[in-house]
Amino acid sequence: MRRRLAAVGLAFIMGAGWSISTPADIPLPAPPKAKGDRCVEPTDLMRRNHMEFLLHQRDETVHRGIRTKKHSLVECLTCHTQTDAAGHYIPINAPGQFCQDCHAYSGVKMDCFECHATKPRNSASVHSKSAAMSGTSPAHLSNLARVVGNRP
């Protein structure tokens, strides 16, 4: 009886083993296309090293106030977030979205979005912000003079 049970168990385990998918069966991630024509770095380099760029940029930004756009996480979001049928942004870490699609495939957990925004503000305020930040609005220029002061 015990031997028969063991045989059944063995057959079950082997059966389970056979049903495990091989890498070839798992579909490759197909992240949605970004808005820009090309990324800030070559795709191969980004795939392997995007975390290094982000890590470097985070220290430069937080500690030294350097806010160049090239490796900025906010800029990644701006380019890579998708909108749904109603025009609302879909969080970038939602299933099938740019970040999550690859991270699910490679089995790597992202910590970024426990704190960082997963989508741009809403579309209206994004536009007003970017106008102000581009330095073209008169309000921005007058603020500059007031904040920094006219130097001798």
Partner 1 sequence: MKSATPNTRPDGERRKFLERAGAAAMLLSLAPGVRLVELVLARAEDQPVSAQMRWGLLVDATKCSEGCTDCVDACNDEHGLTGLGRPETDAQYIRKVGLRDKTTGKTHSLPVLCQHCETAPCVDVCPTGASFRRADGIVLVDKHICIGCRYCMMACPFKARSFIHEDLTDQVPESPRGKGTVEGCNFCVHRVDRDREPACVEACTEARHGALVFGDMGNANSALSQKLRELTNRQIRSDLGLNTGVRYHGI
Q: What residues make contact with partner 1 under the rule CB under 8 A?
A: 58, 60, 62-69, 74, 77, 114-118, 120-121, 132-133, 135, 140, 143-144, 146-152
Q: What is the nearest approach in angstroms of partner 1 to the Cβ of residue 80?
A: 13
| CB nearer to partner 1: pick between 77 and 99 | 77
Q: What is the nearest approach in angstroms of partner 1 to the Cβ of residue 49?
A: 18
Q: What is the nearest approach in angstroms of partner 1 to the Cβ of residue 6?
A: 47
Torsion of CA 71, 73, 75, 81, to 10 degrees: 140
| CB nearer to partner 1: pick between 26 and 139 | 139
120 close to 72: Cβ distance less than 8 angstroms: no
| CB nearer to partner 1: pick between 9 and 121 | 121
Q: Is 95 exposed, middle or buried (0-12, 13-18, 19+ CB in 10 A)?
A: exposed
DSSP letters along 79-97, please? HH--B-TTSPBPPTTSTTS
